[in-house]
């Protein structure tokens, strides 16, 4: 077996546990996107055009709420900003590749492909075939996401319209947010964003969501900075 | 705006962010403040969506016990807090909503 193939398969193998946990999400996404009012084709193709789980859930929710296009685009951009961090983190390992490889691997760079890949690079370093690992992890996740979306669309079409399936979207978001509320800046970011979203609910074009998200980001960041400053100033690191 | 245009621009932006620093390696670093700020994107964006969904369930402010979505959302939050299990949270919230609507 060639070295590149071995690296590819190692990437696939490292991805398997993630594939299992991502599959139900792809199904939930497919069913909810359809329920939110997206066409079968748009629901399916969003999984390859955008290919970013949380942004796709958010888009389905905003389509359901009748938000205008530019708000959806802005929200996708904000939700996916974190990918710049992955991009920055992997950049030194990919610097010698051709532009085509860089572009292909960037397209496949999701949270779930990043995690095993960065661990592999930290352990093995750069080798002539190490990028095949990311290709294996990224491609298997991509394939899994397309298939699970299709399953979800298929099942979603069979669910009666009267069922309150649209509520599964906010529930999915609750399940994503609550476990990361581990410290005060995180909680403050969440609560302040939520409150501003309520106060700004009547703003046109769902602008309240953008305003609320920015408020939460600023509040969390400022609180974290304040904490580290006060921690540096007071010997006990209190406050 | 046409949904296909939205998906296309959303997809291009997503790809652009994934590609950005791989492409610009050595020429641009992510500033420390931005690194910090990015941690707060998920709780901020998702909470900005969750709160109105629960408190303005049909477009109107509803803080009464008749607001089944708010009650079911609180139950789901508790389940998420204690179990940290995504599927369990969704199932508990859906079950709570269906039962509360029957009451």
Query: How far is B31 from chain A, CA to nearest CA, in Å?
Result: 10
Per-residue pLDDT tens for A40-67?
999 999 999 999 988 999 999 999 999 9
* Tokens encoding A76: 């996708």
CB A9 within 8 A of CB A131: no
pLDDT, tens only, A20-46: 888 988 999 999 999 999 999 999 999
Partners of B73 on chain A (C-beta within 8 Å) are 170-171, 174
Looking at chain A, the whole-number percentage of residues with pLDDT higher than 70 is: 95
B73-90: per-residue pLDDT in tens?
999 999 999 999 988 999
Average pLDDT over residues A8-14: 95
Phi first, then psi: what are they for A130, rounded to 5°? -65, -25
Q: Which residues contact A138 (CB under 8 A, 6 or more apart)?
A: A11, A105, A108, A109, A110, A113, A117
Note the pLDDT tens digit of each residue in A107-154. 999 988 998 999 899 888 899 999 999 999 999 999 999 999 999 999
pLDDT score recorded for residue B20:
94
Interchain proximity A84–B21, CB inside 8 Å: yes
Residue B1 has pLDDT above 80, yes or no: no
Structure tokens at A56: 């796709």
Q: What's the pLDDT score for residue A122?
A: 86
CA A123 – CA A234 distance, rounded (Å): 38
Which stretches of chain A are DSSP H helices? 3-35, 40-49, 53-64, 69-80, 83-94, 99-107, 111-124, 131-158, 168-177, 184-199, 207-233
Mutate which of B4, B13, B42, B44 to test chain A, going by most A C-beta atoms within 10 A? Answer: B44
CB A172 within 8 A of CB A45: no
Of A84, A201, A220, the CB nearest to B40: A220
């Amino acid at each position: 077996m060639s070295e590149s193939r071995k690296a590819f398969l190692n990437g696939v193998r490292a991805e398997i546990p993630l594939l299992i946990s991502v599959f139900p999400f792809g199904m939930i996404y497919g069913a909810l996107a359809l329920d939110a009012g997206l066409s079968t084709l748009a629901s399916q193709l969003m999984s390859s055009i955008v290919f970013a789980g949380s942004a796709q859930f958010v888009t389905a929710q905003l389509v359901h709420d009748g938000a205008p296009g530019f708000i959806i685009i802005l929200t996708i951009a904000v939700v996916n900003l974190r990918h710049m961090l992955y991009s920055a983190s992997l950049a030194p390992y990919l610097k010698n590749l051709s532009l085509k490889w860089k572009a292909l691997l960037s397209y496949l760079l999701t949270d779930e492909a990043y995690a095993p890949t960065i661990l592999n690079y930290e352990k093995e370093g750069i080798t002539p075939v190490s990028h095949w690992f990311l290709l294996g992890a990224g491609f298997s996740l991509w394939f899994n996401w397309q298939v699970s979306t299709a399953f979800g669309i298929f099942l979603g079409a069979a669910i009666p319209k009267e069922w309150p399936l649209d509520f599964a979207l906010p529930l999915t978001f609750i399940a994503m947010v609550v476990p990361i509320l581990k410290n005060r800046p995180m909680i403050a970011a969440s609560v302040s964003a939520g409150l501003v979203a309520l106060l700004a609910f009547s703003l046109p074009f769902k602008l309240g969501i953008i305003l609320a998200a920015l408020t939460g980001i600023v509040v969390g960041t400022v609180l974290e900075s304040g904490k580290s400053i006060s921690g540096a100033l007071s010997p006990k690191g209190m406050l | 705006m046409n949904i296909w245009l939205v998906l296309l621009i959303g997809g291009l932006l997503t790809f652009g962010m994934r590609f950005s620093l791989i492409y610009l390696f050595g020429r641009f670093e992510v500033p420390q403040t931005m690194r910090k700020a990015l941690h707060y994107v998920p709780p901020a964006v998702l909470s900005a969506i969750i709160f109105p969904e629960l408190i303005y369930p049909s477009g109107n402010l509803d803080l009464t016990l008749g607001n089944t979505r708010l009650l079911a959302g609180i139950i789901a939050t508790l389940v998420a807090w204690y179990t940290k299990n995504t599927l369990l949270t969704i199932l508990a919230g859906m079950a709570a909503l269906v039962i509360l609507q029957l009451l």
